[in-house]
Amino acid sequence: MKLTTLMTSAAMVLGLATGAMAQDKTKVGFVFVGPVGDGGWTYEHNQGRLAVEEEFGDKVETVFVESVAEGPDSERVMTQMALDGADLIFTTSFGYMDPTINVAKKFPDVKFEHATGYKRADNVSTYSARFYEGRAIQGHIAGSMTESNIIGYIGSFPIPEVIRGINSAYIHAKKVNPDVQFKIVWAYTWFDPAKEADAAKVLIEQGADVVLQHTDSTAPQAAAQEAGNVITFGQASDMAQYGPKPRVSSIIDDWAPYYIERVKAVMDGTWESTDTWDGIGPGMVGIGEISDAVPANVKEEALALKDKIASGEYHPFTGPINKQDGSAWLAEGETADDGTLAGMNFYVEGIEGSIPE
Amino acid sequence: MIRLEKRPQPSRALSLSTPIMAVLATFVFGGLLFAVLGKDPVEALQTIFWQPLFGEYAFYYRPQLLIKGAPLVLIAIGLSLGFKAGIWNIGAEGQYIMGAIFGAAVGLAFYPAEGWYIFPLMVLAGAMGGWAWAMIPAFLKVRFGTNEILVSLMLVYVAEQFLASMSLGLLKNPEGYGFPGSRNLQQYAPAHNAELFAGSGMHWGVVAALIAVIFAYVLLAKHRLGFAIRVTGEAPRAARFSGVNPARLVLFCLGTSGLLAGLAGMFEVSGPSGQITIDFNVGYGFTAIIVAFLGRLHPIGILLAGGLMALTYIGGDIAQSNLGLPAAAIQVFQGMLLFFLLALDVLTHYRLRIGAAEAV
């Protein structure tokens, strides 16, 4: 435990030092899993970082390291940021969970914020976005606009986050179009333009005229554009360059308000460990401009749906909903609880195929 | 007109001095790159090479060098044996993954039992996993004459799919709320490859890497098998006349490199990483190929090369964070270092002749 004490004392010395220099600069670190130019997940986190700089100007200093592998590399990068005097560190990938907890133990005076995880500590908060709310709107538009009644879905990994999105999109597509059918391809990557393009092409060949993606590159958009009559939705980032068609709308991750709020809390000394799971209402999930390729009445319905979700009047998982095997999940009018949603590992009734293991 | 002329004997002096020349050339061109990006080149180089070793927080980074370097050295030692004999195992990444899966699976199977025997069994399983995965290309080559480069490389992708399947299915943490990834072995003491002395970075994988270096050195310098490896690489016909059995050599070289890669994976998953996850592998098996060549396929050279690679990774991350250098610039810098090392290597075997070519 020698190192721990050493580092704790180093951190304390640093804490004192920054305390003395004080108040002038709060140092905020960001650990990114991809390159900041990925146009998707990491890009949006970096936008959040830039918003923090903009908001606080000279009072804040931000540092980041991009393309950090999950595991021991991320642990080293976080430790390094803490040693170098960071007051608050955002770790922006699920795989950073255990490393974040490990490093947080060694630096009790540094605050950590881990995206999409479930492990917390006195100095570790978690935060994530309710992307499934945006998926409901995508499902509505997709179900309304498909002519072949086949909707393609590029999944990244079969984890609760992704399965939630598939279920939400399916439920709302089915509501407006009972004949709709989902074809799901697992790409086993978050970001791999070549694989994503292949997946999109396979789906289009199988007759899909709508392609939804839970991967971060714009490759599926390009594939859809090439194929012609196919519509898509931007993922994580707006991907507006592919509008008005194939990209007809998008789900945008907007981390800026949350990041600004948390940095402010550290500055004010009011930071506390919390678990945040925000959706369209607080603005963490944004719905990108619905383009003119969408019929006016569909657009209107979609926007109405968005407002109802934002105000909390409607929950995308409202019963009656059965699980894929036909067993009852939610009774009439019942809404899903966050625990079940967080660990969702089943398809809802009507989706074909099984979740790979 | 500049020509290359083959030296009758590789130059020993150059062989020793080219690495230093390469590092200097990298400093110059890397410094230029950083200057173009608007950073102070001296500060950038100092951050990458000096900070981890002698900077303010060297007490933390020095152990990290061992953690980052050990798997590279362990894998590269195994690869170098085959490379010397002209047997090309490109799939160490896959063998690394399989070693990790086998090792972790044995550990997790015992959870939550206590017992001194759990970790040794995991070591054994990890070694076997890597060995068995490498035996596939070895057997196919010996039996059917397939190309071991292609087969071993393709098996990397198979192993990756296997890894994803394990993280999502069989080895998934039952208390992980449905998220992919196994239990964390760091939190299961009998299976934890902990540091031998807290804060030293010395875990069993580092020990294994050092033993492998000594083992390879003795094997190549003293043992008949080492002679067979060297002579096969340099003069395959002569090797056959001197009674070397090529099939056995293939099995030995691929098997050993697979075994060591498997061990590296096992020590990583039970120690620094802790978990089987979809993204468990971060490219050690491929980087080790570079390390093997950077170290001139010599055990001591590999040890130094592994340390150098680890240093650029760790220093590179510090430079990103402290100086705001983009990750891509760091990668270009690392690429430059390798490029100059290998390019200048030409000079040990060839000499430059300036002047008109002789008429043919």
Residue A44 CB contacts under 8 Å (≥ 6 apart), including other chains: A236, A237, A252, A253, A254, A255
What is the C-alpha to C-alpha distance for residues B165 and B146, in angstroms, rounded to an integer?
A: 28
pLDDT on residue B344: 86
Q: How would you label B77-107 residue by residue, b for 16+ Cβ within 10 Å and e otherwise?
A: bbbbbbbbbbbbbbbbbbbbbbbbbbbbbbb
Give the mean pLDDT of B215-233.
91
Q: What is the ipTM for the molecules in this complex?
A: 0.88
Chain A residues within 8 A of B165 when measuring between CB atoms: 356-357
Give the mean pLDDT of B327-342.
89
Reported residue count of chain B is 360
Is the pLDDT assigned to residue B146 strictly greater than 90? Answer: yes
What is the C-alpha to C-alpha distance for residues A211 and A40, in angstroms, rounded to an integer?
A: 17
Sign of CA dihedral B154, A96, A187, A48: negative
Q: Reduce the secondary structure of chain B to three states and give it as a string.
A: CEEEEECCCCCHHHHHHHHHHHHHHHHHHHHHHHHHCCCCHHHHHHHHHHHHHHCCCHHHHHHHHHHHHHHHHHHHHHHHHHHHCCCCCCCHHHHHHHHHHHHHHHHHHHCCCCCCCHHHHHHHHHHHHHHHHHHHHHHHHHHHCCCHHHHHHHHHHHHHHHHHHHHHCCCCCCCCCCCCCCCCHHHCHHHCCCCCCCCCCCCHHHHHHHHHHHHHHHHHHHCHHHHHHHHHHHCHHHHHHCCCCHHHHHHHHHHHHHHHHHHHHHHHHHCCCCCCCCCCCCCHHHHHHHHHHHCCCCHHHHHHHHHHHHHHHHHHHHHHHHHCCCHHHHHHHHHHHHHHHHHHHHHHHEEEEECCCCCC
- CB-based burial label for B62 (10 Å; 0-12, 13-18, 19+): middle
Give the mean pLDDT of A285-313.
95
Mind listing the pLDDT tens digit for each residue in A184-194? Answer: 999 988 888 99
What is the C-alpha to C-alpha distance for residues A61 and A21, in angstroms, rounded to an integer?
A: 13
DSSP state of A190: S
Q: Which residue of B has its CA nearest to A344?
A: B178
Is the pLDDT assigned to residue A256 strictly greater than 60? Answer: yes
Q: Does this chain's domain A2-129 share its CATH topology with A131-246+286-342?
A: yes
Q: Which residue of A has its CA nearest to B165?
A: A357
- The domain limits of chain A are 2-129, 131-246+286-342
* Residue with more model confidence, A241 or B240: A241
Query: Chain B within 8 Å of A340 (Cβ-Cβ)?
Result: no
pLDDT on residue A10: 52
Of 3.40.50.2300, 3.40.50.10880, 3.40.50.300, 3.40.605.10, the CATH number of A2-129 is 3.40.50.2300
* Residue with more model confidence, B198 or A101: A101
Is the pLDDT assigned to residue A24 strictly greater than 90? Answer: no
Residue A163 CB contacts under 8 Å (≥ 6 apart), including other chains: A344, A345, A346, A347, A355
pLDDT class of A138 with cuts at 50, 70, 90: very high
Nearest-5° Cα angle at A38, A33 to A43:
75
Give the mean pLDDT of B90-118.
96
Is the pLDDT assigned to residue A14 strictly greater than 70? Answer: no
Give the mean pLDDT of B90-101.
98
Cα–Cα distances in angstroms (integers) from residue A309 to residues A134, A168, A278, A318, B254, in the given order = 9, 13, 12, 12, 59
Q: Are B254 and B134 in contact (CB under 8 A)?
A: yes
Give the distance from residue B122's alpha carbon to the nearest chain A alpha carbon, in angstroms.
20
What is the C-alpha to C-alpha distance for residues B165 and B101, in angstroms, rounded to an integer?
A: 11
Tokens of A298: 């569909």
> Which residues are registered as beta bridge partners of A186?
A155
Residue type, B14: L
What is the C-alpha to C-alpha distance for residues A8 and A157, in angstroms, rounded to an integer?
A: 37
- Which residue of B164, B186, B268 is in closest CB contact with A188? B164
Numbers of helices and strands, H then E, in chain A = 11, 14
pLDDT on residue A23: 52
What is the C-alpha to C-alpha distance for residues B252 and B247, in angstroms, rounded to an integer?
A: 9
Give the mean pLDDT of B152-177.
92
Q: Which residue of A has its CA nearest to B166?
A: A357
Residue B237 CB contacts under 8 Å (≥ 6 apart), including other chains: none
**Cα A349–chain centre separation:** 25
Q: Which of A63, A57, A92 lies closest to A80 in space, CA to CA?
A: A63
Give the mean pLDDT of A333-349.
92
pLDDT on residue B103: 97
Is the pLDDT assigned to residue A254 strictly greater than 50? Answer: yes
Chain B residues within 8 A of A75 when measuring between CB atoms: 272
Give the distance from residue A89's alpha carbon to the nearest chain B alpha carbon, in angstroms.
12
Give the mean pLDDT of A272-288.
94
Residue type, B255: G
Chain A residues within 8 A of B170 when measuring between CB atoms: 357
CB contact under 8 A, A98 and B275: yes
The residues on B that touch A, with CB distances below 8 Å, are: 57, 59-61, 63-64, 67-68, 161, 164-165, 168-170, 177-181, 184, 186, 198-199, 268, 272-275, 277-280, 282, 313-314, 317-318, 320-322, 324, 326-328
Q: Which domains does chain B have, with CATH numbers?
A: 1-39+327-360 (no CATH), 40-324 (1.10.3470)
Give the distance from residue A295's alpha carbon to the nearest chain B alpha carbon, in angstroms.
38
Is the pLDDT assigned to residue A17 strictly greater than 60? Answer: no
Query: Chain B within 8 Å of A157 (Cβ-Cβ)?
Result: yes
What is the C-alpha to C-alpha distance for residues B281 and B265, in angstroms, rounded to an integer?
A: 8
**Percent of chain A having pLDDT more than 90?**
80
Fold held by A131-246+286-342: Rossmann fold (3.40.50)
Inter-helix orientation angle B12-36/B327-349, to 10°: 150
